Chain A
Amino acid sequence: MSESGQPSGRGLRSVIILGGGTAGWMAAAALARVLDGSQCAITLLESSLIGTVGVGEATIPSLPAFHALLGIEERSLLAATRATFKLGIQFRDWRAIGTTFLHPFGPYALDATHELFQAYWLKRKEEGQPSPLEEWSVTGLAARLGRFGVPPPNDSSALRHLSYAYHLDATLYASFLRTYAEKRGVRRIEGEAIGVTIDRTGRVESLRLRDGRSVGGDFFIDCSGFQALAIAKALQTDYIDWSHWLPCDRAIALQCESAGEPAPITQSTARPCGWQWRIPLQHRVGNGYVYSSAHLSDDEAGAALAASLEGAPRSDPRLLRFKAGRRDRVWVGNCLALGLAAGFLEPLESTGIHLVQTGLARLFAHFPDRDFDPVISAEYNRLTALEYERVRDFLILHYAASQREDSPFWRDCRAIHLPETLTYKRDLFAKTGRIVMLDGETFQPGSWLAIYTGLGVWPERHEPLVDIFAHAAAAAGLESVREIVRTAVGRLPAHAAYLKEVTRLA
């Protein structure tokens, strides 16, 4: 029999988190919340001497749900992390120089199914009445017009479909979560891990620190970033290299003063050898150039980035080196990797923080005891692999479907031999308009439609169901969607004004 909160028998007595970047403190905060009332001790080891990567400043709409789980109030988050709201990504010069399209969050056409909407939208285009996708969703139109407001919880208007995430300062976010976690009993150890001790059964026994101390525990979460101290160096997992599909391997990041009010969108601008992000925060703008070192030198990238800033630089440029891919196993024995220690996918669709969050959700759904049954970690690894591969394919599509041919980099992208799963998807869409959803998808049909059509991939055939659906669509009120969306978005304040109001109250 167990008393309240007592781990019975084989329950975890301690969790050690290695690394205190965004991933580490997200893990600490979530564990503190979920294990509230248990006797399981949570410890996070970090060194203030080691910088965090902390450039993953744009997020996707799963993050508000994570905060809801933690019981974090939006206002205090906005104030603490100097965050702004994000409704989607604007892609500039991706299809061809001079073109722009939006990838807004969330589905289109209010309550209609995606299939119905898509058939109807394609038919309108064929009939010569094309209208940008974003006009069909409150999220999209608000993104285009720079408006924002969180609808009240019981809102029955079209605004209840508004789907949003944040742009935030990842370093401030980590310290915000640190405060949260420490308040809930997470113990922070200052120190630098230099090695991992593995016991005779192949499990992690302890972390060795530079000052000679060692930190032992039942379960270890490796959030040590690219270094992957436990999962790679000690446990010898392999890295599955995807750089032949995602050729960018460097990023140079630089903050600058903002030239105007923050917009509720991330901008991604295709460049001759990669692409550039622009992420507006309350007090500054984050910029970065993601590029292929085979096509561009670091100096050239830095110069190109510096030349494109809208305001005075606020930091020194930071160079990051990476290789797209994932660990073949992210959970081995009593050690789980999250964040950059688990894999790397470039920030083109802002999935970095999201993948940490789903990694945690998956951990809670497959929570171990001290037996660390390998069947459970195998299932965790299977699901993680699927998720990474689906996001990978979505990212590759951006490069592979671009029509740019103005530089060696883009010409090389056109020659990429796609993964089979992506070929299957793209061909089916191009031939028939069907959007294939495989197991483990992060991005839903509306997102795929935005990227396909934004990059100029349109279905070859007239969707036979369009005419059938046209009737149903009329019945479902699709004709009136744009009008309803316009009216609803018209009631929203400007993003910057809303932000000021909310943060003033905080």
Chain B
Amino acid sequence: MPGSAVRKIVIVGGGSAGWMAAASLSVLLGRRVEEIVLIESAEIGTVGVGEATLPTLRAFNGSLGIDEVEFIRRTQATFKLGIEFRGWNPARTFFHGFSDLGPDMRGVSPHQLWLKMRAAEDERSYADYSITTVAAGLGRFAPPIPNPGSVLGSYSYAFQFDASAYAAYLRAFAERRGVRRIEGRIVDVRLRPDDGFVDAVLLQGERSVGADLFIDCSGFAGLLIGRSLQAGFEDWSQWLPCDRAVAVACARRGEPTPFTSSTAREAGWQWRIPLQHRTGNGHVFCSSYTDEDEATRTLLESLDGEALAAPRLLKFTAGRRRESWKRNCVALGLASGFLEPLESTSIHLVETGIGRLIELFPDRGFEPKLADEYNRLMARSYESIRDFIILHYHASGRDGELWRYCRNMPIPESLRHQIELFKASGGVALLDRSSFAEPSWVSIYFGLGVLPRRHDPMGDLIADEALSREFQRRARIVRGAAESLPTHGAFIEKFCRAAT
């Protein structure tokens, strides 16, 4: 049926992925599609632990016309300048911030310039030149000014928020734009006998809901894409062996930090995500090296404040759906793949998936080449983030069974190439431009102590003394700029405090 427009879309599942899709499609397709329905069951909890995000979320919210201050108040959000990594490098804590180390000189990247200074036995830390690292260390925050030439205009930020509140907020938003919500539990999926397309989902109570296009946001269950359409799953657990997380919220002590913390543990790592009203915590671990009780104990022993609920356990397998788009079904969020929240990428991948679905939007002919292209692009996004996360484990100098395994395991060829290139030259080859860029890779390499054998020889055209002077100047400016910012808590209090 080429030439015939999609009339009805059914979104299965109402977690963050489902409501992000509903909100976005209602804005972008509102005039075109006759009906958008979201089916969710209040009985089924959402995962809702993806509480830290990347700066791209601001563009996503912007595309919906969402007012940022209102969004922050409604989701108890705080600001995030990056991630602090504790224990990943036994020698020191490091920071992956949403900024770089300053401008190039003579076309030479700032990290190469720092390597040159280091070769000249200048012992200053590269972190002194990163505005987000210095501001985060001081607990300061204000949004960047609209002047990219200034150090205060050369960073970005993301949010740490209550994902359930975000879903609820987007639900109200989408419902106002005509998205119809059906409460119900899906018991079966009916496929068209002739071509295997999804015909309808069957709900408890013998109701059925049909559509032209189905969006599977049913989480790990993958009700349509996995169970029904058998889209296959590429298992990446040989590279990312962590397969459990235990999560708990606790009372907050002191001001919220403008960053997420990730602390390496014996058999995994622990997150700490400060919101306005509480702090989210979780312990991601590998069940081959520790058990749930031990992991829970480790988590509870290290909370800032009292636990606000009983810890919740999540089980997962790292990997990706072979075809996120199959026939007339597109999977988003956990239904399309899982990568542990080490770099806060899950909501980002939902945004990416929605954006590409809109770019490649099908008609009722469901040209298979559209799905091919969607799957090709999503595979690259998932794989490049996968590689980035594997790097954290593989290059860590930490001791312990899990860590030794990760250090010695064979890694994907794409990552092996990246690491070798960096070690040889300090160069970063980006395999997917929509994902982590050079400054992010450099943060992790440097943070974990992976240093190139040489610096860019072009850097030698700059005299040591001139370089040293320039970087002293930069460090001074960065520190001064960071100190000029209000504290994170004061900024929130003044501009965007959530109603309690």
- A interface list, Cβ under 8 A from B: 1-8, 10-12, 34-38, 115, 364-369, 371, 373, 375-376, 379, 424, 427-428, 431-432, 434, 436, 439, 460-462, 464-465, 467-468, 471
Cα distance, A139 to B379, chains bound together (Å): 37
Query: A36-B461, A428-B370 given. 5 additional CB < 8 A pairs?
Result: A4-B462, A5-B460, A367-B456, A431-B369, A467-B5
Residues of chain B lying within 8 A (CB to CB) of residue A36: 461
Residues of chain A lying within 8 A (CB to CB) of residue B119: 8
On whether the beta carbons of B3 and A462 are closer than 8 Å, the reply is yes
Given A431-B367, A462-B363, the answer on whether A373 and B464 have CB atoms closer than 8 Å is: no
Given A376-B421, A461-B363, A461-B365, the answer on whether A7 and B31 have CB atoms closer than 8 Å is: no
Given A11-B457, A38-B461, A364-B458, the answer on whether A434 and B425 have CB atoms closer than 8 Å is: no
Given A376-B425, A468-B29, the answer on whether A369 and B457 have CB atoms closer than 8 Å is: yes
Cα distance, A436 to B454, chains bound together (Å): 37
CB distance from A76 to the nearest CB of B (A): 24
**Contact among B6, B417, B463 for A5, CB-based, below 8 A:** B463
On whether the beta carbons of B370 and A375 are closer than 8 Å, the reply is no
CB distance from A274 to the nearest CB of B (A): 32
CB distance from B432 to the nearest CB of A (A): 9
On whether the beta carbons of A465 and B361 are closer than 8 Å, the reply is yes
On whether the beta carbons of B31 and A468 are closer than 8 Å, the reply is yes
On whether the beta carbons of B3 and A115 are closer than 8 Å, the reply is no
Residues of chain A lying within 8 A (CB to CB) of residue B363: 461-462, 464
CB distance from A378 to the nearest CB of B (A): 8
17 contacts between A and B (CB under 8 A): A3-B464, A10-B457, A11-B460, A34-B458, A366-B425, A367-B457, A373-B424, A373-B454, A379-B427, A432-B360, A461-B367, A462-B2, A464-B5, A465-B361, A467-B5, A468-B31, A471-B31
B466 sits at the interface (CB 8 A): yes
Which residue of chain A has its CB nearest to the CB of B106?
A: A34
On whether the beta carbons of A464 and B461 are closer than 8 Å, the reply is no
Cα distance, A194 to B429, chains bound together (Å): 38
CB distance from B116 to the nearest CB of A (A): 8
Residues of chain A lying within 8 A (CB to CB) of residue B462: 4
Cα distance, A2 to B457, chains bound together (Å): 12
Within 8 A of A (CB), among B346-373: 358-363, 365, 367, 369-370, 372-373
Given A2-B120, A434-B373, A468-B32, the answer on whether A375 and B360 have CB atoms closer than 8 Å is: no
On whether the beta carbons of B369 and A376 are closer than 8 Å, the reply is no
Cα distance, A6 to B120, chains bound together (Å): 13
Closest 4 interchain pairs by CB?
Answer: A4-B463, A375-B424, A373-B424, A461-B2
Most buried by B among A368, A431, A468: A468
Cα distance, A367 to B462, chains bound together (Å): 15
Residues of chain B lying within 8 A (CB to CB) of residue A115: 359
Q: CB-defined interface of B177-188 with A at 8 Å, one 1/0 digit per residue?
A: 000000000000
CB distance from A200 to the nearest CB of B (A): 23
Within 8 A of A (CB), among B371-387: 372-373
Within 8 A of A (CB), among B320-368: 358-363, 365, 367
Within 8 A of A (CB), among B451-471: 453-454, 456-458, 460-466
CB distance from B84 to the nearest CB of A (A): 31
On whether the beta carbons of B120 and A1 are closer than 8 Å, the reply is yes
- B interface list, Cβ under 8 A from A: 2-3, 5-6, 28-29, 31-32, 107, 119-120, 358-363, 365, 367, 369-370, 372-373, 417, 420-421, 423-425, 427, 429, 431, 453-454, 456-458, 460-466
On whether the beta carbons of A37 and B461 are closer than 8 Å, the reply is yes
Residues of chain A lying within 8 A (CB to CB) of residue B429: 379
On whether the beta carbons of B457 and A467 are closer than 8 Å, the reply is no
Residues of chain A lying within 8 A (CB to CB) of residue B464: 1-3
Residues of chain B lying within 8 A (CB to CB) of residue A11: 457, 460
Given A460-B2, A462-B3, the answer on whether A375 and B365 have CB atoms closer than 8 Å is: no
CB distance from A232 to the nearest CB of B (A): 26
Which residue of chain A has its CB nearest to the CB of B462?
A: A4
Cα distance, A471 to B28, chains bound together (Å): 10
CB distance from B226 to the nearest CB of A (A): 26
Residues of chain A lying within 8 A (CB to CB) of residue B107: 34, 364
Residues of chain B lying within 8 A (CB to CB) of residue A379: 417, 421, 425, 427, 429
Which residue of chain B has its CB nearest to the CB of A470?
A: B31
Cα distance, A384 to B427, chains bound together (Å): 16
Which residue of chain B has its CB nearest to the CB of A365?
A: B427
On whether the beta carbons of B460 and A375 are closer than 8 Å, the reply is no
CB distance from A469 to the nearest CB of B (A): 10
Residues of chain B lying within 8 A (CB to CB) of residue A434: 359-360, 369-370, 373
Residues of chain B lying within 8 A (CB to CB) of residue A38: 460-461
Residues of chain A lying within 8 A (CB to CB) of residue B2: 460-462
On whether the beta carbons of A3 and B421 are closer than 8 Å, the reply is no
Cα distance, A462 to B458, chains bound together (Å): 51
On whether the beta carbons of A428 and B369 are closer than 8 Å, the reply is yes
Residues of chain A lying within 8 A (CB to CB) of residue B369: 427-428, 431-432, 434
On whether the beta carbons of B457 and A368 are closer than 8 Å, the reply is yes
Cα distance, A461 to B29, chains bound together (Å): 18
CB distance from A502 to the nearest CB of B (A): 30
Which residue of chain A has its CB nearest to the CB of B432?
A: A439
On whether the beta carbons of B427 and A366 are closer than 8 Å, the reply is yes
Residues of chain B lying within 8 A (CB to CB) of residue A368: 457
CB distance from A282 to the nearest CB of B (A): 34
Residues of chain A lying within 8 A (CB to CB) of residue B466: 4
Cα distance, A364 to B109, chains bound together (Å): 12
Residues of chain A lying within 8 A (CB to CB) of residue B365: 461
Cα distance, A85 to B408, chains bound together (Å): 58
On whether the beta carbons of B3 and A367 are closer than 8 Å, the reply is no
Residues of chain B lying within 8 A (CB to CB) of residue A5: 460-461, 463
Cα distance, A424 to B377, chains bound together (Å): 14
Residues of chain A lying within 8 A (CB to CB) of residue B431: 439
Cα distance, A4 to B359, chains bound together (Å): 51
Cα distance, A312 to B331, chains bound together (Å): 66
Cα distance, A4 to B106, chains bound together (Å): 14
On whether the beta carbons of A461 and B457 are closer than 8 Å, the reply is no
On whether the beta carbons of A464 and B31 are closer than 8 Å, the reply is no
On whether the beta carbons of B460 and A432 are closer than 8 Å, the reply is no
Cα distance, A468 to B417, chains bound together (Å): 42
Cα distance, A462 to B119, chains bound together (Å): 60
Which residue of chain B has its CB nearest to the CB of A3?
A: B463
Which residue of chain B has its CB nearest to the CB of A361?
A: B107
CB distance from A373 to the nearest CB of B (A): 4
Residues of chain B lying within 8 A (CB to CB) of residue A436: 373
Cα distance, A49 to B421, chains bound together (Å): 42
Residues of chain B lying within 8 A (CB to CB) of residue A4: 462-463, 465-466
Given A432-B370, A461-B2, A461-B365, the answer on whether A376 and B460 have CB atoms closer than 8 Å is: no
CB distance from A81 to the nearest CB of B (A): 26
**Contact among B361, B370, B454 for A371, CB-based, below 8 A:** B454
Cα distance, A38 to B108, chains bound together (Å): 15
Cα distance, A1 to B464, chains bound together (Å): 7
**Contact among A2, A373, A424, A461 for B460, CB-based, below 8 A:** A2
Given A461-B2, A461-B3, A464-B362, the answer on whether A7 and B457 have CB atoms closer than 8 Å is: yes
CB distance from A156 to the nearest CB of B (A): 19
CB distance from A491 to the nearest CB of B (A): 31
Cα distance, A431 to B369, chains bound together (Å): 8
Residues of chain A lying within 8 A (CB to CB) of residue B456: 367
Cα distance, A431 to B120, chains bound together (Å): 58
Cα distance, A12 to B457, chains bound together (Å): 8
Residues of chain A lying within 8 A (CB to CB) of residue B6: 464
Most buried by A among B362, B373, B460: B460
Residues of chain B lying within 8 A (CB to CB) of residue A8: 119, 460
**Contact among B362, B370, B372, B425 for A373, CB-based, below 8 A:** B425
Given A2-B120, A364-B458, the answer on whether A432 and B358 have CB atoms closer than 8 Å is: no
Cα distance, A470 to B454, chains bound together (Å): 53
Cα distance, A365 to B112, chains bound together (Å): 11
Given A2-B460, A379-B421, the answer on whether A464 and B32 have CB atoms closer than 8 Å is: yes
On whether the beta carbons of B32 and A428 are closer than 8 Å, the reply is no
